[in-house]
Amino acid sequence: MEEKAFVDYYELMQISPNAEIETIQRVYRMLAARYHPDNPETADADRFMLLNEAYGVLSDPDARASYDLTYQTGRTSPMEIFNLKEFAIGISGENHRRMGLLCLLYNRRRTDPDKPGMSLLEFEKVMSFPREHLIFTIWYLQSKGMLKQGEQSDFAISAEGVDYIEQHLPSNQILYKLLKSAEMGSAHSADMREEAREDRNR
């Protein structure tokens, strides 16, 4: 039986992991109204169900405490999308690795403004690449002003990096999949797993 994918409820609701209950309630009401199946313009039944699931956990102190115990582990577990052939080691995959790294930081900045950075170790875990293969990627993005390094040695996206992501999103399907996966709060969707398996078998 396949293990249930980890769902980042905080990212799904676009709130900080430190959000107060009042914030959780307010954001839930707004998003639930937007994605409710009866809304003729913005209905999204799948997202509505996930929102209800997220709210049920995050609005209950005991359930939230239990969820938070596994949150950090799930947050830094490998994302299946980085196993796609587009991220292969070498020059051909370098551009996608840059976009992928920026995308991770874009979502982190958006959903957790109090801790917008990621360490090199986190990149290794989430992207499933050894640091030796990420050093060049990070150097390039820093040189272009798209990354900034904080006092704790964490890397965060800059305004230039945000602009780059948003300008290239319409023409980059891989980037779109990565952002969509993070937006839905799931880093390990069944579709991504299946696509990654197919790529490895080609």
> What are the structural domains of the chain?
9-74 (1.10.287.110), 78-201 (1.10.10)
* Mean pLDDT of all residues in 193-200: 47
Cβ–Cβ under 8 Å, residues 144 and 160: yes
Distance, CA of 183 to CA of 174 (rounded, Å): 14
Over residues 85-99, the pLDDT tens digits come to: 878 777 778 888 888
pTM of this prediction exceeds 0.85: no
β-pairing verdict for 147-149 and 155-157? antiparallel
Q: What is the pLDDT confidence band of residue 181, given thresholds at 50, 70 and 90?
A: low
* Mean pLDDT of all residues in 120-149: 91
DSSP code for 147 = E
Over residues 18-59, the pLDDT tens digits come to: 899 999 999 999 999 999 999 999 999 999 999 999 999 999
Q: Which residues contact 135 (CB under 8 A, 6 or more apart)?
A: none
